[in-house]
Amino acid sequence: MFEKVRDVIVEELDVDKENVSETSHIINDLDADSLDVVELVMALEETFDIKVDDDSVQSLRTVQDVVDYIEANQ
C-alpha cells in the first residue's frame, strides 16, 4: 500500500521517490501547500476509490497517516 500511495504523492507533488518515506510530513517535509493537499486528496480519492471527509484531511499529516486512513476506509 505504501508504494501506491508514494507513487500518487510523487506524481501530485512532483517530488523524488527517494524523498518520500512513511514518516515524511506532507507539508513540512514534502513542501505541500494547501492547494497541493487538496489536489493530493482528490488524486488519492480517485486512485483508491474512497472519500476523504474534510475533518479527516486535517489528520493526514504524514505519509503513514495517509496509508492508515486508506487501509481503514477501503
pLDDT score recorded for residue 66: 97
pLDDT of residue 40: 97
Give kind and range of the element (H or E) at residue 40.
Answer: helix 34-48
Question: Can you list the domains of the chain with their CATH numbers?
Answer: 2-73 (1.10.1200.10)
List, as one string, the DSSP characters of the chain.
-HHHHHHHHHHHHT--GGG--TT-BTTTTT---HHHHHHHHHHHHHHHT----HHHHTT--BHHHHHHHHHHH-
Residue type, 70: I
Model pLDDT for residues 1-53, shown as the tens digit of each residue: 999 999 999 999 999 999 999 999 999 999 999 999 999 999 999 999 999 99
Residue 14: the pLDDT is: 96
Active site residues: 33
